[in-house]
Amino acid sequence: MARRAEPPAGPALRSLSRAQRGLADRLGEPGLRALTWAASAAGMALIALLVYKVFDQAGESVSHFGLGFLTANVWDPVSRRFGAASFVYGTAVSSLLALVIAGPLSIAIALFLTELAPRRARRPVATLVELLAAIPSVVLGLWGIIVLAPFLVNTLEPALHSAFGWIPLFEGSTSPFGLLPAILILTIMVVPIIASVTREVFETVPGDLKESALALGATRWEMVRMVILPYAKSGIVGASILGLGRALGEAIAVTQVIGDATGVHASLFAPADTLASRVASTYQGATSTLEISSLAYLSAILLVLALIVNVIARLIVRRSTLRMRRAGPRPGLAVTTAEAEV
Amino acid sequence: MTKNRIAVAAGATALALGVAACGSSNSSPTGASGSADTLVGAGSTLVAPLVSQWQPEYDKKAEVAVTYGAIGSGGGIAQITARTVDFGASDAPLTEDQFKEAKGVVQIPWALAATDMAYHVEGVPSKLKLTGPLLAEIYEGKVTSWNAPQIASLNPGVTLPSTKITPIHRSDGSGDTFAFTNYLSHISPEWSSKYGHATEVNFPVGVGAKGNSGVGGAISSTNGAIGYIAIAYVLENEFDFALIKNAAGQYPEPGIPSISAAAKTLASVPANNEVSIVDPPASAPGAYPISTFTYALVPEESPKAKTLKPFLKWAITEGQTFGPKLDFAPLPAQVVKADEATIEKIKS
């Protein structure tokens, strides 16, 4: 538009810039292609090398202990017997329970932000919740030691114990370090992830569906239960599994509060350890090549777990996209599906 | 106490960050100053404060820049075995396997430190009296409350609460763990056969924490906790600490005089320089029972021999004068003599 306003100098300038552009095109096009190709190749090579190296390192331990490593509940550097059972247990319990607490909490936050919150409050609240994810995990762990641990041991754990002491989960004596603080720290880390993805999923629920539910006389709760939640179900599951992936791999903050102890205890108050936390706390001081190799074995287990979780999350997300596409030509839906795919 | 706890926790966090960074801790051998020569070492965190005292002093004296990476004893052993450093440092003497793998490395005890039993029990004063067998029972989970008769009978006149005992141990490999478990193995045959001694052992009960600061944090935030922790750390943070009964039946206060008294009981130094002075004999009434030597690991044939030998010689003699300030006791004369003989053998 501006070009049309410049009468005589226009064509010359344009041809010059075209020549320049030609040069840039000739060099830039293949250059860009090479650059992006190299970057992607480097990314893939890195993953392959990393996986190879972890499994290579684990080789000594794998040939020494075999698959029995997975079920052996021991970590004894003196007699050189190592096993992953208590760490697999600790990882599973801490991540899954964190998910159990974080899931409903995140759905509630997402519902509040998409349906209930006054429009002006939505952005600041959403930003604050997402900022939770920006807290470095060491800082969260530090908070766990200084603030959370004393609160747990003085208030929450005695209360849980006296109310639900008959459930094995809340048996035994209280401790500032153990599974419970680890679960709560992981919950805090996972909530912003699940909440923000779930919120985005809720926003794709077509307005006409919600409005027709309301028009049919549904209350807001019925509308949430019968329209929003079913529509967003697979999205919520995908979000939760993303959160699970985060919880599985967290090392530092967990190391700080979990009490780094071996053994499988039913009680949430007991000190425990996870795969990632054991690797983080022990690698530096590992005393034998077999121990280092066993730590690599733990890493390999973690890597496989993370890959499985990631693949499941992708499958679920893909299935839900397919389903939405199949849901076909209803005008409202078609628009949102297109949007979702962009 | 609260301030303490925050400081301790901050330390723990710094340490945790250290782990994250340690993957790339093969520090490059850059002599920052205009020093004529450089030496690169890595290993034990226990000896790190002493080495960092030595660095500027030795640079001033001999114009040699010493770079030291406190990556942990295990890392120190691995690095010297791979010969990526000029010297390694380990809090535990090398095992036979490690010697074999390292192919011609000698160990030189070059610092002497002690481990304290610190505790935090509300309503109980400092300097509670404890014994070795009792510590073994506590760490095995056999004695579980602070008012157990075994503790009460040692401490007449002290009102003990029924608080549960939470034994705290290091979750990372450490020289303090070696000193403590070496002591328990000496005192208790059961401990020796079941758990043994090393820089990292399989503690049957209790809470693990990373680094001295992690253990300190766990002690200060847990009512009823007891933990072993480097002596300097205990004094710095004003923790309550226990007096441990020695073979003479005395309860000496941990400190340079009582560590030195233990070191004096050392009869001879074996050919591989592995020395242990835990649970010293009854002939030394003032000897503190839980102290440990920490070692420099050096190849017998080193391309840096010309620089390395004078540094090691300086470290075990003049260098020792920087120890007491950091609660390292000076090396006893026999050890210095054995060290000098070993250093002489290093060739280029």
Mean pLDDT, contiguous 10-residue spans, chain B (348 residues): 46 44 40 67 88 93 91 84 92 88 92 92 94 95 94 93 93 87 94 91 90 87 91 86 93 92 88 90 91 92 92 95 91 92 91
Query: What pLDDT score does A176 carry?
Result: 83
Record: contact A283-B19, CB cut-off 8 A: yes
Handedness of CA A232, A233, A237, A243 (dihedral sign): positive
Average pLDDT for A20-36: 81
Q: Which helix (H) or strand (E) holds A291?
A: helix A289-326
* 8 Å CB contact between A294 and A81: no
DSSP string, A97-163: HHHHHHHHHHHHHHHIIIIIS-HHHHHHHHHHHHHGGGS-HHHHHHHIIIIIHHHIIIIIHHHHHHH
Record: contact B75-A285, CB cut-off 8 A: yes
- The partner residue sitting opposite A252, judged by closest CB among B20, B71, B198, is B20
- The partner residue sitting opposite A177, judged by closest CB among B164, B195, B207, is B207
C-alpha A183/C-alpha A95 separation (Å) is 7
Handedness of CA A231, A236, A239, A245 (dihedral sign): negative
C-alpha B280/C-alpha B269 separation (Å) is 15
Average pLDDT for A156-177: 84
Residue A20 banded pLDDT, cuts 50, 70, 90: low
For helices A289-326 and A331-341, angle between their N-to-C axes, nearest 10 degrees: 150
Average pLDDT for A118-122: 88
Tell me how far CA of residue A133 lies from CA of A125, A287, B212, B257, in angstroms: 14, 36, 29, 52
Residue A2 banded pLDDT, cuts 50, 70, 90: very low
Alpha helix stretches (DSSP H) within B166-264: 175-187, 189-194, 211-221, 231-237, 256-264
With a CB cutoff of 8 Å and minimum separation 6, the contacts of B210 are: A255, A256, A260, A281, B12, B15, B16, B19, B170, B171, B172
* 8 Å CB contact between A72 and A81: yes
Query: What pLDDT score does A325 carry?
Result: 62
Q: Which A positions 226-265 lie with beta carbon below 8 A of chain B?
A: 252, 255-256, 259-262
Which residue type, as a one-letter code, is found at position A143?
W
C-alpha B220/C-alpha A222 separation (Å) is 51
* A256 chain-B contacts, CB cut-off 8 A: 12-13, 16, 210, 214
Give Cα B230 distance to the centre of its chain. Answer: 7
Suggest the residue from B207, B219, B295 to mutate for an interface test with chain A (most A CBs closer than 10 A). B207
Nearest to B12 by CA among A23, A156, A138: A138
Angle at A255 between CA A280 and CA B169, to 5 degrees: 95
Angle at B243 between CA B237 and CA B249, to 5 degrees: 165
Q: Check: pTM over 0.95? Answer yes or no.
A: no
What's B165's DSSP letter? P
Is A141 within 8 Å of chain B by CB?
A: yes
Q: Number of A:B CB contacts under 8 A?
A: 132
C-alpha B167/C-alpha B164 separation (Å) is 10
* A150 chain-B contacts, CB cut-off 8 A: 221
A323 has pLDDT over 70:
no
Here the tokens at position A243 are 């959160």
With a CB cutoff of 8 Å and minimum separation 6, the contacts of B36 are: B63, B64
Here the tokens at position A47 are 């993953």
With a CB cutoff of 8 Å and minimum separation 6, the contacts of B148 are: none
C-alpha A226/C-alpha B126 separation (Å) is 64
Query: What pLDDT score does B25 carry?
Result: 38
A39 has pLDDT over 60:
yes
Point out the least confidently predicted range of A74-78, A247-251, A314-318, B242-246. A314-318
A334 has pLDDT over 50:
no
C-alpha B252/C-alpha B259 separation (Å) is 10
Query: What pLDDT score does B21 carry?
Result: 41
Is A138 within 8 Å of chain B by CB?
A: yes
Query: What pLDDT score does B14 carry?
Result: 45
- Closest residue in A to B6 (Cα–Cα): A146
* 8 Å CB contact between A292 and A59: no
* A288 chain-B contacts, CB cut-off 8 A: 97-98
Residue-averaged pLDDT of chain A: 84
Angle at B205 between CA B201 and CA B206, to 5 degrees: 95
End-to-end CA distance of chain B: 53
C-alpha B73/C-alpha B95 separation (Å) is 13
3-class SS at B301? strand
Here the tokens at position A59 are 């080789």
A328 has pLDDT over 60:
no
Nearest to A126 by CA among A36, A44, A202: A202
* 8 Å CB contact between A290 and A80: yes
Record: contact B72-A261, CB cut-off 8 A: no
Suggest the residue from A80, A145, A258, A265 to mutate for an interface test with chain B (most B CBs closer than 10 A). A145
Shortest alpha-carbon distance between residue A279 and chain B (Å): 10
C-alpha A2/C-alpha B140 separation (Å) is 84
* A77 chain-B contacts, CB cut-off 8 A: 173, 198-202
Record: contact B206-A280, CB cut-off 8 A: no
C-alpha B241/C-alpha A159 separation (Å) is 32
How many other CB atoms sit within 10 Å of the CB of residue A215? 9
Shortest alpha-carbon distance between residue B165 and chain A (Å): 11
* 8 Å CB contact between A275 and A75: no
Tell me how far CA of residue A139 lies from CA of A146, A185, A256, A278, B18, in angstroms: 11, 11, 10, 19, 14
